[in-house]
């Protein structure tokens, strides 16, 4: 199975400041034939289902604010919140769908400093 490792496990950021979450896969999730990274990011708030933020490593999901961006390729990926808002407090997960046995990272909890 592909293991997804996120860092840090938690972070506290001031309102309006940048938050950066890293995700590393145990093997490349870049499919060479189409040059796509099979990597998604989700936001999960208590009592709600997860929400898709980013897919194909860098494409924002429907209705996702442009302060959320995804980058990276191969085995190393980053989710950036450019200006943290109060409503962004949540746990964030990366997910690989390169392998048919999909796997999530362990999650990163984002809080307000």
Task: Write out the residues near other proteins by the rule CB under 8 A.
Answer: 1, 36, 38, 40, 42, 44, 48-52, 55-56, 61-62, 91, 93, 95, 97, 100-107
Q: How far is the CB of 67 from other proteins (least distance, A)?
A: 19
Tokens of 76: 């190393």
DSSP, res 46: T
Q: How far is the CB of 100 from other proteins (least distance, A)?
A: 5
**Nearer of residues 78 and 103 to other proteins, judged by Cβ:** 103
**Nearer of residues 2 and 83 to other proteins, judged by Cβ:** 2
Contact 79, 21 (CB under 8 A): yes
Q: How far is the CB of 99 from other proteins (least distance, A)?
A: 10
**Nearer of residues 19 and 54 to other proteins, judged by Cβ:** 54
Q: How far is the CB of 15 from other proteins (least distance, A)?
A: 26
**Nearer of residues 16 and 44 to other proteins, judged by Cβ:** 44
Spell out the residues 6+ positions from residue 27 whose beta carbon is closer than 8 angstroms to its own: 2, 75
Spell out the residues 6+ positions from residue 43 whose beta carbon is closer than 8 angstroms to its own: 50, 51, 53, 88, 90, 91, 92
Q: Is the peptide bond before 39 cis (omega within 30 degrees of 0)?
A: no
């Amino acid at each position: 199975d592909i293991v997804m490792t996120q860092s840090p496990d938690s972070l506290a950021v001031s309102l309006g400041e940048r938050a950066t979450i890293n995700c590393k896969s145990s093997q490349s999730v870049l499919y060479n034939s189409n040059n796509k990274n099979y990597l998604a990011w989700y936001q999960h708030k208590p009592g709600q289902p997860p929400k898709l933020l980013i897919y194909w490593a860098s494409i924002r999901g429907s209705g996702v604010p442009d302060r959320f961006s995804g980058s990276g390729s191969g085995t190393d990926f980053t989710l950036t919140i450019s200006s943290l808002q109060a409503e962004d407090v949540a746990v964030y997960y990366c997910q690989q769908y390169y392998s048919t046995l999909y796997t999530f990272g362990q999650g990163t909890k984002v809080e307000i400093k």
